[in-house]
Homo-oligomer: A and B are copies of this chain.
Amino acid sequence: MKPSIPKGTRDFLPEQVIKRNYLFKVIKSVFENFAYVPIETPSFESLSTLTGKYGEEGDRLLFKILNNGDFLADSDEQVLKDKDSRKLLPSISKRGLRYDLTVPFARFVVMHENEISFPFKRYQIQPVWRADRPQKGRYQEFYQCDADAIGSDSLMYEAELICIYDQVFSKIKIPVEIRVNNRKILEEMIDSIGEKEKFVAITVIIDKLDKIGWQGVENELISAKINNEAIKSLKEYLDLEDISSLRDYFSERNINSYGLKEIEEVFSFLSKEKFINKVKFDPTLARGLNYYTGTIFEVKATDANMGSLGGGGRYAELTEVFDRKGMSGVGISFGAERIYDVMLEKGLFPEKLFDPVDVLFITLDERSHHAGFSLVSKLRNNNIRSDIYPAPGNMKKQMKYANAIRVPYAAIIGSNELENNILILKDMESGEQEEIMLTNFVIRFTEKLIG
């Protein structure tokens, strides 16, 4: 029986780990440029912390951890007899794997309120787990990379987060469009067409615009019993091209829009920025299923047919679910797994990123093998990444290994070389060979290998 791993999970080979770490490092370095600081939270939380925070679907997709020991001891017999999984659950599981980084962050802020200074700007790069049906590009374990600023309602943070998106995507060379809207604008617009009570239904429909087009949206609005005039006004809204036309839209309807004021303020901070990527107001952006209350963001690649590469927004009351009011927060998330896929597809990782050894020692007999070990040890003590094949003698086998691990240089020693106090350094690409004196080989290697 061949071993396997659970569906929806992945092993990462060295080259993949190194590429993934490169991406995380870029994101991390930008977060740090913007003065965000790292926190980490446990992989599992109490189910009372997680349950009810992600909707019914989310509760279903939480990975629950079975209580240890005799977990059935206190279970209700009738529930067992009924085979009622739902009712049994609370008695056999009290912990669940982290589903996202936002709820644990809110929990963290409430628990550590007295240990941190506000506004608190944190980033967090950790895996999360969701029991989604695995499919191409969708995993049950995946990384999230979040930055949030909490404890201030200043719209400067929205501007800052847009700059972060721009800086990260320009560093990794994926051209994107950073779309910005505000839930208040949507509310005011839907209010103005007289459909306030259908706000959620309408935003969910608008959210599908990218997928089903206006015709699809119109059909769904009709099914949702939105009247013709309202649909016309909604279409006009969705066609708005910039903030200036949004200003006209509300002004024609005599609406004093708070959402407009907010988005104007965000863009006023950005007036002098020279963005590498497109940053634009997008009236069609709704982020239907999220509980944002103000600004919302979404990032799409402009030349890759790929869903959203990131998103976020403001929660007026981020910690309210933990009974701590008055903590406004705004944050963004990077869809690291998708970004990684785009980078792979488009060959955006730097060349020679996977380059784990500078030199491999190849030895021709026992004595040179032992001598080689001491030489390698000296290199390692001087931070030159070096290795030595474990068995001397078979030159062909050792060279084959050198090629397999893609090492740029091989250092060859046999009894002749030892006698003459030298080694042969072979450039594996050009095939050129050079004799190097053992008396100063560390210096010579440093010059050659590290440059």
Contacts and interface: CB of A to CB of B under 8 A. Distances in A.
Nearest to A379: B33
Contact of A2 (B111, B121, B390): B111
A39 interface: yes
Nearest to A155: B390
A214 interface: no
B40 A12 contact: yes
A349 interface: no
Contacts of A391: 152, 154
A13 interface: yes
Interface residues of A, number: 109
Interface in A1-46: 1-6, 9-14, 17-18, 21, 29, 32-35, 37-46
Contacts of A279: none
Interface in A154-187: 154, 156-157, 159-160, 163, 167
Count of chain copies? 2
A115 B6 CA distance: 20
B41 A156 contact: no
A273 B110 CA distance: 52
A65 to B, nearest CB: 5
A387 B129 CA distance: 33
Interface stretch (A79-87, A196-204, A243-251, A297-305): A79-87
A66 B68 contact: no
Given A49-B3, A66-B93, A131-B68, A387 B34 contact: yes
A369 interface: yes
A13 B390 contact: no
Contact of A11 (B63, B69, B112): B112
A272 B323 CA distance: 64
Contact of A273 (B12, B32, B377): B377
B381 A322 contact: no
A395 to B, nearest CB: 17
B373 A34 contact: no
Nearest to A164: B380
Nearest to A66: B64
A34 B390 CA distance: 13
Interface string A75-105: 1010011011100110011110100000000
Which of A116, A159, A386, A405 neighbours the largest number of chain B CB atoms within 10 Å of its CB?
Answer: A405
Which of A13, A97, A390 neighbours the largest number of chain B CB atoms within 10 Å of its CB?
Answer: A390
A374 B156 CA distance: 11
A17 B40 contact: yes
A12 to B, nearest CB: 4
B11 A40 contact: yes
Nearest to A33: B380
25 contacts: A3-B46, A3-B322, A5-B45, A5-B111, A9-B42, A10-B42, A12-B39, A14-B39, A17-B40, A32-B356, A43-B129, A44-B63, A61-B68, A63-B65, A66-B92, A72-B84, A72-B88, A73-B85, A77-B83, A117-B405, A149-B390, A154-B390, A156-B369, A163-B377, A167-B380
Give 9 nearest A-B pairs by CB, closest first.
A154-B390, A9-B42, A35-B387, A14-B37, A117-B404, A12-B40, A17-B38, A68-B131, A272-B374
